[in-house]
Structure 1
Amino acid sequence: MAAVTPPSISIRRARPQDVASVAELGAHVFSITFGHSVSPQQLQAYLSESYSIPATAKDVADPMKDMIVVTSQDGAIVGFALLTRGTSEPCIAHLESTIELQRIYVHPTYHGNGVGKILAKKLEDIAKEQGFKYIWLGVWEENYKAQKVYERLGYRVVGDHGFTIGEVVQTDHIMVKEL
């Protein structure tokens, strides 16, 4: 059954003109989710590396990635998600045909409205269309809310890896779902 999109939002592939809005949203959501766990300098360095306009433009243009956005009724980007081919982790290396759900970011004012679920479902549909059998992701061990969402969507923890922000190494749970 296809996900039903609420009438006040729409979902589509990201376009080059979306880069500034996606970069701003990514930096905002990352900051409020993880900012307390690292120094302001380490956070800013990571944001400059991962959520700058050039970094986001590279993600949108990368043929190994699929980025989708959710827009509000007035056209503002309120969420985005990124699917990445060609990545793996040791704990899933034995699985055939995997793809990474690299990011799902939703503006806090849209939390609890099903936007994240819509993004996840759309990425799963894209992955299936491309012939992948498994989708995997890394989620911070302290992001309990996201872990619960992924569990409800059918993902299960299969391992861990380190995620470095500046000089801080945090632990991400690796979760996988069969498509």
Structure 2
Amino acid sequence: MANETSTLGLTVRDAGTSDLDALVALSRKTFTDKFDHLYRAEDLASFLEAEHGREVYETALATPGSLLRVAETGAGALGAYLACGKLTLPASDAPPGCVELKRLYVDVPLQGRGLGTRFVEEALDWARKQGAPAIYLSVFSENYGAQRLYERFGFEKIDEFWFPVGEHRDLEFLMRLNLEDYSKK
């Protein structure tokens, strides 16, 4: 995978430390735009601080073997991002070496341009280069658009779990794609 490519007037590239403030702002905005109607303000605020704070992305950038990609507009603003890394989801039967597509968010003005598809492809390329036998992800049970995207690539729902957002709990679907099966398609 190339470090930087241009698509539809966007530059897709590896994130760097100079992107941290913009990445934190984008991650909080995209999560809030999609899901804020589900949560009490205090639950959302505590979740954003814990899971979409600067430290989360500093750690991702500093962790060898992680992938953090961004799509930047011609004006220099970040409009989408992808984060992948070591498997941390509750996948009890995962063989050693599995990885996780942790986050894939596209800001509303850039949706419909194929960035989601592109980022899933990049995640799969990255996972294969890691030698992972499978890649996992979780998706909100009512996020039907994301589920359809992942299913198009062959991800299958294998379990469910309760995902905490502050004191609130969401039903989350655990999905897996066996990379050996995917490479045969």
- State if a TM-score over 0.5 links the two structures: yes
| Pairing 1:153–2:156 present | no
Give the Å deviation of 1:50. 1.5
Alignment-mate amino acid for residue 111 of structure 1: Q
Instruction: Give the superposition deviation at 1:64.
Output: 5.1
- Equivalent residue letter for 1:80: Y
CA contact (8 A) 1:64 1:86 kept: no
Closer/same/farther in 2, CA of residues 113 and 7 from structure 1, 3 Å limit: closer
Partners of 1:96 and 1:48 lie apart in 2 by: 31
- Partner of 1:97: helix, strand, or coil? coil
User: Is 1:55 the counterpart of 2:56 in the alignment?
Assistant: yes
Number of residues of Structure 1 aligned to a counterpart in Structure 2:
175
Counterpart residue number, 1:130: 130
User: What are the Cα deviations for residues 104-132 of structure 1, in whole angstroms up to 9, with x where unaligned?
Assistant: 01111111110111111111111111111
Q: Residue 30 and residue 88 in structure 1: after superposition, are their counterparts in 2 closer, same or farther (change >3 A)?
A: closer
Matched, 1:141 2:146: no
d(CA) in 1 for partners of 2:134, 2:6: 24
Aligned AA (1:160)? E
Q: What is aligned with 2:20?
A: 19
Provide the residue aligned with 2:9 in structure 1. 8
* CA apart distance, 1:172: 0.7
CA distance in 2, matches of 1:125, 1:75: 26
Structure 1 runs of 4+ aligned residues shifted over 6 Å read none
* C-alpha distance in 2 between matches for 1:64 and 1:169: 30
Question: Match for residue 113 of structure 1?
Answer: 113
Gaps of 5+ in 1: none
CA contact (8 A) 1:140 1:173 kept: yes
Give yes or no for contact 1:19–1:60 (8 Å, CA) kept in 2.
no
1:94-105 equivalence runs, <5 A = 94-105=94-105
SS in 2 for 1:132: coil
Asked if 1 retains the 8 angstrom alpha-carbon contact of 2:65 and 2:130, the reply is: no
2:88 is matched with which residue?
87
Taking the aligned partners of 2:156 and 2:76, their CA distance within structure 1 comes to 34
CA distance in 1, matches of 2:78, 2:24: 11
Question: Are residues 100 and 57 of structure 1, via their aligned partners in 2, closer, same or farther at CA, if it must alter by over 3 Å?
Answer: same
What is the letter of the counterpart of residue 104 of structure 1?
L
Give the conservation status (yes or no) of the 8 Å contact 1:50–1:56: no
User: Aligned letter for 2:114?
Assistant: G
1:81 alignment partner, SS class: strand
Name 1:35's counterpart in structure 2.
Answer: 36
C-alpha distance 97-21 of structure 1, shift in aligned 2 (>3 A) = same
- Cα RMSD, aligned residues only: 1.8
Within 1, Cα distance between the matches of 2:119 and 2:73? 14
Q: Which residue of 2 aligns with 1:172?
A: 172
